[in-house]
Amino acid sequence: MKIPKPIEYNKKKYAFLSDDSRIACNDSDVLFVQTKQNAPFAKELIDKGLDILPAQDLHKYFNLTPKIIGITGTNGKTTTAAIIYSILLDMGYLCALLGTRGFFANDKQLRGKGLTTPSILELYEDIEQAAVLGCEFFIMEVSSHAITQERIIGLDFCAKVLTNITSDHLDYHKTLEEYIRVKNSFFADTTLKIINRDEPKASFNPTNAYGYGIEAKTHLSVSAYSLTQGLSGHIIWREDPRNRDSNLQESLIESPLYGLHNLYNILAALACIKALTKAPLQEIIKHLENFAGVSGRMEVISQDPLVIVDFAHTHDGMRQIFESFKSRKISVVFGAGGDRDKSKRPKMGRCAYDYAQKIYITSDNPRSEDPQAIIADILAGIPPHPAHPITIEADRKRAIHMALDALEPDEILLVLGKGDETNQIIGGENIHFDDREIIREHLIHKTRK
């Protein structure tokens, strides 16, 4: 990647920065930035006597004045980051948001969807742009890949948030133990930390750590809650959980979001804002009602029949959604991405079998893999003689139509895996595909019949 960035280094002026050694070798106006990923390619520049800027020194050459909040975890990063962004904006702060959905600043979208955490040069450029726009906070999603590849090296976080740790990206990290280690490594320093204390796999430096939880009694706890028709509950903040009377603040919360996992996301966001700003709990919570959710995350497409689309693409993400509707009969459409962690596929199949009464196994983004082979991996987690209907249909559009046509009045349909994605990758082809559009169009067609 090459970005315009006038910089003086080793008494020489450069117009651009790049992490591509080929560009830096052939253009005297480009200063090469050495990262963990491109280090093997630096030798050619060293042999030519060209300048090399270590990535850990980038912070010396960028305006990084916004306070950076980093959110990591297997699930919930996008929604938690969006809640923090929304509430801080409503509290009067200028803010930027960077993550899976794109780059936003002060309620305007500056760039579309991309990687959860972009390359280090793009990330630094985004933070500097946020600084120019006067942003006081920069809220970002931090992926396990970004931690391992040191794409966040040199950044000084004002707060770090852990949502949860389950199994994901084992195609990259190889073992669950390594994935857990990487996630927890983000919380090894003395930065302000907001930790899900109901997560048994969390390990962190206790200095400057705040907790939130539904089961655990910690800094931000829940005394009662309801998951019917959105979320409601009674929450309690204690500055010192060991002293039950320590700066005790309590409040009721109401939200149109669905699901226990979204209650966790709300608690994570509230605890972060409370620990950072020290504002009264009720002052923070009054802005929660303005947050209607994130596109493609537990997004209600239809109320009658009840049809919901979500991005859940791991067995734990699916389980959290299913748990939110245990009192309903569940019909589900899902698949698994190709060229990605294969170990989660049978777990996803078993999770769907344990909760749903009707199962439609289809394609997600098969990429270079055979869709039928992916489906076979999912089926491996389901008993050989299932007790309830399982439909195999590799054509995702047809599978959604079949599920909608068979949906009974007392059932809920969950279409999982793609969320707000508007494309499907099949082989080398990238085609327009939006679960939400397909659902709405088919429901309109059924109504007109």
For residue range 317-340, list pLDDT tens digits in order: 899 899 888 888 999 999 999 999
Q: What is the pTM of this model?
A: 0.87
pLDDT confidence band for 249 (50 / 70 / 90): very high
Region 218-240: mean pLDDT is: 93
Contact residues for 233 (Cβ-Cβ < 8 A; gap 6+): 222, 223, 224, 225, 226, 252, 253, 263
How much is the pLDDT for 170? 64
Q: Dihedral, CA atoms, 338, 341, 343, 345, nearest 10 degrees?
A: -40
What percent of the chain clears pLDDT 90, i.e. is strictly above it?
85
Kindly indicate the confidence band of residue 446, based on its pLDDT and cuts at 50, 70 and 90: confident
pLDDT reported for residue 26: 92
Q: Has residue 168 got a pLDDT over 80?
A: no
**Which range has the worst mean pLDDT, 21-35, 108-122, 365-379?**
108-122
Cα separation, 103 vs 7, in Å, equals 25
Q: What is the pLDDT of residue 316?
A: 87
Tell whether the model's pLDDT for residue 19 goes beyond 80: yes
Mean pLDDT along residues 186-210: 97
* Amino acid 437: pLDDT: 97
**Hey, where are the domains in the chain?**
2-60, 62-290, 299-448
**Which of 116-120, 186-190, 205-209 shows the lowest per-residue confidence on average (mean pLDDT)?**
116-120
What pLDDT does residue 141 have? 97
How far apart (Å, rounded) are the C-alpha atoms in residues 76 and 161?
A: 11
Predicted confidence at residue 228, as pLDDT, reads 83
Question: Mind listing the pLDDT tens digit for each residue in 353-378?
Answer: 999 999 999 999 999 999 999 999 99
Mean pLDDT of the chain: 94
- What is the average pLDDT across 13-17? 97
Q: Please report the pLDDT score of residue 167 as a whole number.
A: 62
The predicted pLDDT at position 430 comes to 94
CATH architecture, domain defined by 62-290: 3-Layer(aba) Sandwich (3.40)
Per-residue pLDDT for 169 more than 70? Answer: no
112 pLDDT more than 90: no
How does residue 428 score in pLDDT terms, banded at 50, 70 and 90?
Answer: confident
Mind listing the pLDDT tens digit for each residue in 29-47?
Answer: 999 999 999 999 998 899 9
Q: Find the range with the poorest average confidence among 86-90, 292-296, 370-374, 397-401.
A: 292-296
Q: What confidence category does residue 352 fall into, taking pLDDT thresholds of 50, 70 and 90?
A: very high
- The topology under which CATH files domain 299-448 is Protein-Tyrosine Phosphatase; Chain A (3.90.190)
